Structure 1
Amino acid sequence: MLGVAARAALVWPFDAAAVPLATAAINIVGACALGIVVGALGTRHPSARAFLGTGILGGFTTYSAFAVQVATLAPVAPWLALLIAAVSLIAGVAGAGLGLWVGRRLGHRPGAPDAPAEAE
């Protein structure tokens, strides 16, 4: 619910025509944030990873709204729809990669074992 509320608050001020761009930006930021979570936690703290990744960020990002928005835009502005879809995909993967890189650096503690934590 926290992720959904954050997404709604970010999309709310936009004009309807700009919502697909806002959704794309949210999905890209969410991919980067998920990369940070996965990179920082690795296989440790599975409950925290599920809460942050699936719970918060799963609610924050939205593939289905993105898909419907692009499909709705395609008949009236096909090149714009294609551009939004391509940029979202490429930037989302790049954002996830950047997030993993940052997360691994944040999660790495010299001398700390990288083994999975005991059950939480």
Structure 2
Amino acid sequence: MLVICGGAVGVAARAALTLPFSAGAHPLLLPALTLVINLVGALLLGVVVGALDDRHPRWRSFLGTGVMGGFTTYSAFAVHVVTTGSSAPLVGLLLAAVTIFGGTLAGAVGLALGRRIVDRPGEIESPEEAE
């Protein structure tokens, strides 16, 4: 149920960002928006996974699988690569490469940021460290 609710939030956020530009937009606007959404989503998913460890499975399900899964979109990415690539092959290839490599980099940066959020200097983590 948490994943479904989170997915609804993520889809609504993506729709709010893309629907205003759907009608009469430049042919590259929606692929560019999808690229930005997927890169931001990968970054935020990394933050969620890095910050919320196994002690918070419900929050990870809601925010990670649900919200970020609903916010990002692989299917639109695939369609944009094919449609853009059919008229401008280099642009389609660039879109695919930036999404894949940029998304991987964004996810790694988000993971590091998320881990840093929970790594508070000076905080005692276990009773053994208190001695």
Match of 2:53 in 1: 42
Q: 1:4 aligns with which of 11, 31, 44?
A: 11
Matched, 1:89 2:96: no
The one of 60, 67, 73 aligned to 1:56: 67
- Report how far residue 73 of structure 1 moved: 1.4
TM-score normalised by L of structure 2: 0.81
SS in 1 for 2:55: coil
Quick one: distance in 2 between partners of 1:88 and 1:55?
21
Number of equivalences: 113
> Deviating runs (4+, > 3 A) in structure 1?
none
Which of the pair has more CA radius of gyration?
2
Q: Unaligned 5+ residue runs, structure 2? A: 1-7, 127-131
Q: Distance in 1 between matches of 2:37 and 2:15?
A: 10
Q: Which amino acid aligns with 1:99?
A: G
Which residue number in structure 1 is paired with residue 42 of structure 2? Answer: 31
Aligned residues with identical type, % of pairs: 53
- Which AA in structure 1 matches 2:125? A
User: How large is the Cα RMSD of the aligned pairs?
Assistant: 1.2
Tell me how far apart the structure 1 counterparts of residues 26 and 15 of structure 2 sit (CA, whole Å): 13
Give 1 or 2: higher helix fraction: 2
Deviates more, 1:96-105 or 1:8-17: 8-17
Higher RCO, 1 vs 2 (CA within 8 Å, ≥6 residues apart): 1
**1:42 is paired with a residue of what secondary structure?**
coil
CA deviation map 1:59-79 (0-9, x unaligned): 000001110111111111111
Matched letter for residue 19 of structure 1: L
Instruction: Kindly provide the amino acid, as one letter, of the partner of residue 111 in structure 2.
Output: L
